[in-house]
Amino acid sequence: MAAVVELNGVDFSYGSRLVLGNIELAVFENDFLAVVGPNGSGKTTLLRLILGFLIPDQGRVSVFGLPADKAGTHIGYVPQHGNFDAGFPISALEVVLMGRLHGRAFLPRYSEGDYRSAESAMHALRVYDLAHRPFGALSGGQKQRILIARALAAAPKLLVLDEPTAGVDEATEKDIWELLARLNEEVTIIVVSHNAALIAQYAKEVLYLDGSLKQQPGYSLV
């Protein structure tokens, strides 16, 4: 079976500081991989390598058999909701619609099909009633659901999430993990989280990065 995501002998450093060394990783269809570890252990770096935002110093990152920086359109990416400017003039529905945008989308209007996909993603996440609210005015948990809906609007086969439960309360956190476990029936999921205890109940595989490269276990399927 071909891997959805594959890292072979990947090294990455910021300047002279080696963050990831000799990483071997294979993620297969319908995996639910949690990448956990303390701050500075390279979790986010690993994610950004998979997304193709960073290029490894050594080794190879491939996603659906393509080099990572060419595979972006096949990935549904969910960034942290805290990254966004609260004053940006945009509605929740527009945020979700953005998930449908591509490099040859001209003129201001989205198509009927774009609206249908966006709205059904919002129904699936139970956030359709927020459609016309300003995105910046939503709570952390609501924003996170909108961003997950945005990623799903393009019907990706792989969902990549960066700390989806940062800055939300405990009940919402559980809610989001349960939601992801449900989504996992359809899509492969890679999620970065600092909450190793809780995510272990939902994820099928856990990759622990502890920042000391020597002890890093090679990742293998459970």
- β-pair partners for 188: 158
85, 30, 25: which is closest to 49 by C-alpha?
Answer: 25
Q: Does 84 bind other proteins (CB under 8 A)?
A: yes
Q: E-strand spans in the chain?
A: 5-14, 17-27, 32-36, 58-63, 66-67, 75-78, 158-162, 188-193, 205-208
Q: What does the alpha-carbon distance between residue 124 and residue 107 come to, in Å, rounded to a whole number?
A: 28
Q: Please report how close the Cβ of residue 103 comes to other proteins at its closest, in angstroms.
A: 4
How many whole angstroms from its chain centre is CA 86? 21
Binding region for other proteins (CB under 8 A) out of 29-37, 39-47, 72-80, 115-123: 72-80
Q: Does 103 bind other proteins (CB under 8 A)?
A: yes
* Number of chain positions touching other proteins (CB under 8 A): 33
Q: Does 134 bind other proteins (CB under 8 A)?
A: yes
Q: Does 112 bind other proteins (CB under 8 A)?
A: no
Q: Does 55 bind other proteins (CB under 8 A)?
A: no
Strands 58-63, 66-67: pairing kind: antiparallel
Binding region for other proteins (CB under 8 A) out of 13-21, 82-90, 163-171, 175-183: 82-90
What are 3's two structure tokens?
């891997």
Comparison of 17 and 214: residue with beta carbon closer to other proteins: 17
Interface with other proteins (CB under 8 A), residue from 29, 73, 169, 217: 73
174, 98, 90: which is closest to 134 by C-alpha?
Answer: 90
Q: Which of residues 138-167 bind other proteins (CB under 8 A)?
A: 150, 154
Could you list the residues that contact other proteins (CB under 8 A)? 51-53, 72-73, 75, 77, 79, 83-85, 87-91, 94-95, 98-99, 101-103, 105-108, 110, 134, 136-137, 150, 154
